[in-house]
Amino acid sequence: MFVQTSLMKNFFFYLVLLCFFIAIFSKDIFKVIFFLVLMILFIMFTFSPFISFMPFALILLVFFSGVFLFLVYCGTFSSVYKSFFFFNFFFLIFFFNFFFYDFLIFSLSFFSFFFSFYIFSFIFFIIFFLLFLFFLGLNFIGSFRS
């Protein structure tokens, strides 16, 4: 069952990766919506075994999707900062898929390692989240200067 879940999760991961690269190089709003729909399916599938984490995942999804759609719709992305923003945005999704999900399942089966893996995953999340905010700030500074 776990192997089947991992295969399906990786399938969704590659779908989102494909749409991610489409969305980077396109300002077409329909491609952006297509990317977000696949990302919603991906995150909901990733968090489905952990119902208690669902509200947290959806809150993050709504926040990042709202920021993403607002910036794309307003056209405030400069060519340089746009790639940095999407690169970091992708790694936040990557973190939730691999670090949090797989390590948590592994940790629950080996309870003595649970605390260390949880701290390790949380540190990675903080690093990527701070990088996300940093590149978001660079994007706004770049849009005001141009």
What are the tens digits of pLDDT across the range 109-120? 444 444 454 555
What pLDDT shows up at residue 91? 53
Q: Are 29 and 72 in contact (CB under 8 A)?
A: yes
pTM equals 0.29
Residues 6 or more apart whose CB falls under 8 angstroms from that of 10 comprise none
73-102 burial: b if 16+ Cβ within 10 Å, else e:
eeebbbeebbebbbebbbbbbebbbbbbbe
Cα–Cα distance for residue pair 135/93, rounded to 1 Å: 16
**pLDDT digits over 19-38, tens only?**
555 555 555 555 556 656 65
Range of the domain at 98: 2-145
pLDDT over 70 at 41, yes or no: no
Residue range 59-108, pLDDT digits in tens: 555 555 555 555 555 555 454 455 555 555 555 555 555 555 555 555 44
Lowest model confidence (mean pLDDT) among 1-5, 9-13, 77-81: 1-5
Give how many domains the chain has, as a whole number: 1
